[in-house]
Amino acid sequence: MRAIKFPAIIVLIECAIRSAGFSYPQLKLLSVVRNIRYNMCNPSEVFRHGDREINDEIGGDLTQVGRLRAYRLGEILRVRYGDFLGEEYEPSRLYARSTEYIRAKMSLQLLLAGLFVPREQQRWHESLDWQPIPFSYARSKEDVLLFPRDCPSFQREMKRFIPSPGFQKLLDPYREMMRNVTIWTGQEMSIPNHMFVLYHKLSSMQALDEPLPKWSRDFFPYGLLLNGTYLEYDTHKYTDWMRRVNGGTLVRKIIDDMLNRTDEKYPRKRDVYLYSGHELNVVSILQSLKIWQPHIPEYSSAVIVELREDRKNYYVKVLYHKGIPPIFKEMQIPGCPSLCPLDRFIELLSDNLPAYDEIICDDKTVKFE
């Protein structure tokens, strides 16, 4: 008998443990945000894509290690949430979405392959343990859910504040390094995004045992370039509106899905929500959940949000799958226990959630499924 009933951001948790009169809340929704990164009464997951190739300016290929890591995350989720998911893939229970970037799409396909190995009656090829599973995505310039920073309205806001004296002062500690790197590489280095891109190029080279340029030793992997990457993360929440839209939009959708699931009058929709994105997705959702601590999210890291129910009382649990190593860490929203009552969860995060008329991309208010 299935104990978990709701969707979540992928994080699956053991269900219905009863002892001494205490009933551990059943999973109802699971949401998983994967880095290239989450809901469980229903689980939702946001995850980060797998390891990428060095020459990957616009979302290209995954390494073989990255492919295997994404597939194994699917297997890990199967082990953790198998009772909730059931033995077979059921299209009506799953919503999967990716950014439009190739590596994010590939990572989602690989995760789904590990999560839903076809059972006997679902096999369509005798020697292939794989079945096609649909997912959706939007063009990055229209994707306010997973890629708000590419929306024209978001870009206009960034162009407005980057020249401001207050923001320019934040760049002062990095100016000498940026000038030198511009000379050494012939590529412009003047804003946090340039430091972010360089950091990840060097990280990819290091992961593939490629020799690093000598000039990088003074500020990589620790030091100014790492701090400049953290500054790029903070750039996407520099104004109140940006903070609410970037990350807060996805948290708003996860909350809406959980509220719909708790309303018995509302038609049951999904049990599991999977979102395949990038490290900035993982960073922004951790920031919106108020549990962010500066670090670089690893490949195949994931934030998982579970909705749980006990005697018509609803609770939210948040987990962070670190990716490397592949372990889960239970997270605690400030002001709430790790098993946080749903109403309290919403109250604590309300200042990070956008109003519906603030969820705008290309000057159009966006609606979701």
Q: Is the pTM of this model over 0.85?
A: yes
298 catalytic residue (yes or no): no
DSSP string, 193-223: HHHHHHHHHHHHHHHTTPPPPGGGGGTSSSS
Per the residue annotation, which of 45, 49, 194, 309 is the catalytic one? 49
CB crowding 215-246: b at 16 or more within 10 Å, else e:
ebeebbeeebbbbbbbbbbebbbbeebbbbbb
Catalytic residue among 279, 298, 306, 309: 279
Q: What is the pLDDT along the chain (369 residues), one digit of tens a residue?
A: 333 333 334 433 223 222 333 456 888 888 998 775 323 345 566 655 555 554 544 445 788 998 999 999 999 999 999 999 999 999 999 999 999 999 999 999 999 999 999 998 898 988 889 999 999 999 999 999 999 999 999 999 999 999 999 999 999 999 999 999 999 999 999 999 999 999 999 998 898 889 999 999 999 999 999 999 999 999 999 999 999 999 999 999 999 999 999 987 766 678 999 999 999 999 999 999 999 999 999 988 999 999 999 988 999 999 999 999 999 999 999 999 999 999 999 999 999 999 988 888 876 656 566
Q: Give the whole-angstrom CA distance, residue 238 versus residue 169.
A: 13
What CATH number has the domain spanning 18-162+239-365? 3.40.50.1240
- HSE toward the beta carbon, residue 228, CA cutoff 13 A: 28
Annotated catalytic residue 200: no
Domain boundaries, the chain: 18-162+239-365
pLDDT tens, 79-130? Answer: 999 999 999 999 999 999 999 999 999 999 999 999 999 998 898 988 889 9
Q: Do you know the residue count of the chain?
A: 369
- The residues, any chain, with a CB within 8 Å of residue 324's CB and separated by 6 or more, are 69, 298, 299, 300, 301
114 and 102 in contact (C-beta within 8 Å)? no
Residues 172, 169: Cα–Cα separation, whole Å? 5
Contact 219, 202 (CB under 8 A): no
CA 361 from centroid of its chain's CA atoms: 20
SS3 277: strand
